[in-house]
A and B are shown apart, each in its own frame.
Chain A
Amino acid sequence: MTENRFVNRSELIGILLLAAFLVVILPLCLDVFRLNLVAKYLTYAFVALGLVVCWGYCGILSLGQGVFFGLGGYCMAMFLKLEASSVENTKIQSTPGIPDFMDWNQITALPAFWQPFHSLTFTVFAIILVPGLFAFIIGAAMFKRRVGGTYFAIITQAVAAILTILIVGQQGYTGGINGMTDLRTLKGWDIRPDHAKIVLYFFEVGLLFVCIFIAQFIRHSKLGRILVAMREKEDRVRFSGYSVANFKIFAFCVAAMFAAVGGAMFALNVGFMSPSFVGIVPSIEMVIYTAVGGRLSILGAICGTLLVNFAKTSLSESFPELWLFGLGGLFITVVLAFPNGLAGIWTDYVAPRIAGLFTSRKSKSGDGWAEKPVADGAPAE
């Protein structure tokens, strides 16, 4: 029973391969434009990672991860927008010094809730804590009352709808449907030129690995095993003296914070933030990435995100009509035939073949949960 706390050997190899791919191979092979696209895809990988923790491990399907992605992204964008709206930059406005969209909506002073976003420290904390707190409130309200499964999915979806409508409706405060555009500098450092894009890419990959290690730590701690246990036999966990609701809230909050980091990186890498990344459709798309990659596998979810997005970009450029058919079909196929996604195909079909090549057949225990059939979330009560 001497096991490493974070990773076992096959996971370590996987993580190293991913690191080599993201840190060495992609930057060498792609031009800056394509690398920036990868950076954009990777922001969704944060969300997918969070979904592995809360959906894969714990069985809670959230259809509102766009909410947290959006909250994180908007927090970042508010800071960047304020910096881009200095009095000098906005001389031509009737009220200089406030974001342009406020000026267009006849707002003459910066609203109070915008004020703290002058501070980068506050912004960084807000990126993590605002979505975390929001997830905590939703989670506490739902899980303490034993709402789960499909009900939870519908409620989170409704929250995503509400937030989108709110952002679009309050354009004076949020930039409305167009979002916050024209983000320029971070503490005076221009985020738009090529070299900045490259620096941001590596920074993002670094953050992604921090999140991967957090997820690995959770998975290999007793808490990770409790999450799996809860997905299977919630009552047994409860009657072993654990507060099931608290553990679910924890998983949901972790997922929300990961998504928020992704959102903040999105604002930095792409240079704008808009409600089209908050609502129902993007939220479900993020679930698709996770499902395709494998909801039980950290690496699978990240690969799934990259693959689906590559496919989306290349297909929707050349055959925009085919893309939605493809995405829908892919989703149905994965759910029907491969509920554990690419990672499941790997552990079920590919890995045994490879192992078969090296004749010494070791026992297949300890390889983690990816090989187990998927248990659906707890039924709604």
Chain B
Amino acid sequence: MFGDYSIGDLGSIFVMQGFAGLILFSVYVLMALGLAIIFGQMGVINMAHGEFMILGAYVTWMTSNFFQAYLPGLFAGYFFLAMILAFIASGALGMLVEWALIRHLYKRPLDTLLATWGLSLILQQAYRSIFGAREVGVELPQWMLGSLHVSDSIEVPINGIFVMALTVLITIAVAYVMYLSRWGRQVRAVVQNRIMAGAVGINTEKVDRYTFALGCGIAGVAGSAFTMIGSTGPTSGQLYIVDTFLVVVFGGAASLLGTIASAFSISQTQSTLEFFLSGSMAKVLTLLAVVGILMLRPQGLFALKVRK
């Protein structure tokens, strides 16, 4: 397997594949963060999560087109506005969905799964009707193109670095909101004991709605970031949904740190394998390993033993 490469080449390969893995890692983390909040904290399985992400991607695409047409001077910075718009759009849709659908199904988690899948079908068709079936790509501003030369054989694309920096920022923000803010405490209180939380004056319905909206909003930002490294089509979201659920479950559903660790190990395994095997076999082996480990350790990597 390694025979044809010199040690220097191998080193570069590992760095390059490692970096490709880091970009995949960023996508996983961004998607999984929203899901970890919704699934881990609320126990809701949102099969339409990918479609919320794609909504963010389309919002970014529209913003970029708008800037190109009307504000070409500010094009270099359109992305920051696009991200905020993506967050708002996906979050608002999330709030609507929670109100119309999810809140009726909190006691039936398997049915939530089915209902949100129905929702994902509707959203996919809506995107197809509005934006067309073809994948769309976002025009990147000049400063995001190109790459940094680290050495002769190692090049690091700037958009990749930007996505990773974004991931780190969003992760820190989510960690702050969930673990340090008063609101995060309320969310966790509701998760642990809904009745008690209601009794001490927390508006549980409101907490549910905003938690769900936050998870969806983060998915929107993920979609926005996603446009910088790939193109967007109506069904792009579905490609990632199973992987993302595996990331969350593998990490131990309620643990933010676990989600990040599992996203890292899964993405690195996959991108490293991808170099030596065909893409599909790398994916098969990675998923098999994850499913196999989950069968041996169903509670995921990070889970507490609790008294029931």
Contact = CB atoms under 8 A, between A and B. Distances in A.
Do A and B contact each other directly (Cβ–Cβ < 8 Å)? yes
Interface of A: 61, 63, 141-142, 145-147, 149-151, 153-155, 157-159, 161-162, 165-166, 168-169, 280-281, 284, 287-288, 291, 321, 324-325, 327-332, 335-336, 339, 374, 376-377, 379, 381
Interface centre among B114, B122, B124 (most CB of A within 10 A): B114
Contact of A321 (B43, B129, B281): B129
Contacts of A61: 110, 113
Contacts of B242: 154, 157-158, 161, 280
Contacts of B118: 288, 327-332, 335
B246 interface: yes
Contacts of A332: 101, 115, 118-119, 122
Contacts of B238: 280-281
Contacts of A161: 242, 287
A165 B114 contact: no
Given A336-B104, A377-B110, 5 more contacts: A151-B249, A166-B284, A329-B122, A331-B114, A332-B115
Contacts of A328: 118-122, 125
A162 to B, nearest CB: 5
B291 A150 contact: no
Interface string B277-295: 0101101100110110011
A287 B109 CA distance: 15
A158 B266 CA distance: 14
A150 B122 contact: no
A331 B287 contact: no
Given A151-B249, A155-B291, A280-B242, A335 B111 contact: yes
B67 interface: no
Interface residues of B, number: 42
B61 interface: no
Given A158-B291, A165-B284, A153 B122 contact: no
Nearest to A141: B295
Nearest to A166: B284
Contacts of B124: 324
Given A61-B113, A149-B109, A161-B242, A336 B101 contact: yes
13 contacts: A61-B113, A141-B295, A145-B298, A149-B109, A151-B249, A154-B245, A154-B246, A166-B280, A166-B284, A169-B278, A288-B114, A331-B118, A332-B122
B307 interface: no
Given A149-B109, A151-B298, A339-B111, A158 B121 contact: no
